[in-house]
Chain A
Amino acid sequence: AQKVTQAQTEISVVEKEDVTLDCVYETRDTTYYLFWYKQPPSGELVFLIRRNSFDEQNEISGRYSWNFQKSTSSFNFTITASQVVDSAVYFCALSIEAAGNKLTFGGGTRVLVKP
Chain B
Amino acid sequence: KAGVTQTPRYLIKTRGQQVTLSCSPISGHRSVSWYQQTPGQGLQFLFEYFSETQRNKGNFPGRFSGRQFSNSRSEMNVSTLELGDSALYLCASSLASETNTEAFFGQGTRLTVV
Q: How far is the CA of A51 from the CA of B10 in the complex (A)?
A: 34
Q: How far is the CA of A103 from the CA of B56 in the complex (A)?
A: 11
B65 within 8 A of partner (CB)? no
A57 within 8 A of partner (CB)? no
Q: Of B4, B99, B105, which one neighbours A97 at CB under 8 angstroms?
A: B99
Q: How far is the CA of A33 from the CA of B4 in the complex (A)?
A: 22
Interface residues on B, range: 20 to 34
Query: Within B88-114, which residues are at the interface with A (CB < 8 Å)?
Result: 88, 90, 92, 94, 99-108, 110
- Whether the Cβ atoms of B48 and A101 lie closer than 8 Å is yes
Interface residues on A, range: 20 to 34
Known: A97-B99, A101-B31, A101-B100. 16 other contacts (CB 8 A): A33-B100, A37-B105, A44-B106, A44-B107, A45-B90, A47-B103, A47-B104, A91-B43, A99-B99, A100-B50, A100-B56, A102-B56, A102-B58, A103-B45, A104-B45, A108-B42
Binding site for A on B (CB under 8 A): 3-4, 31, 33, 35, 42-45, 48, 50, 55-56, 58, 88, 90, 92, 94, 99-108, 110
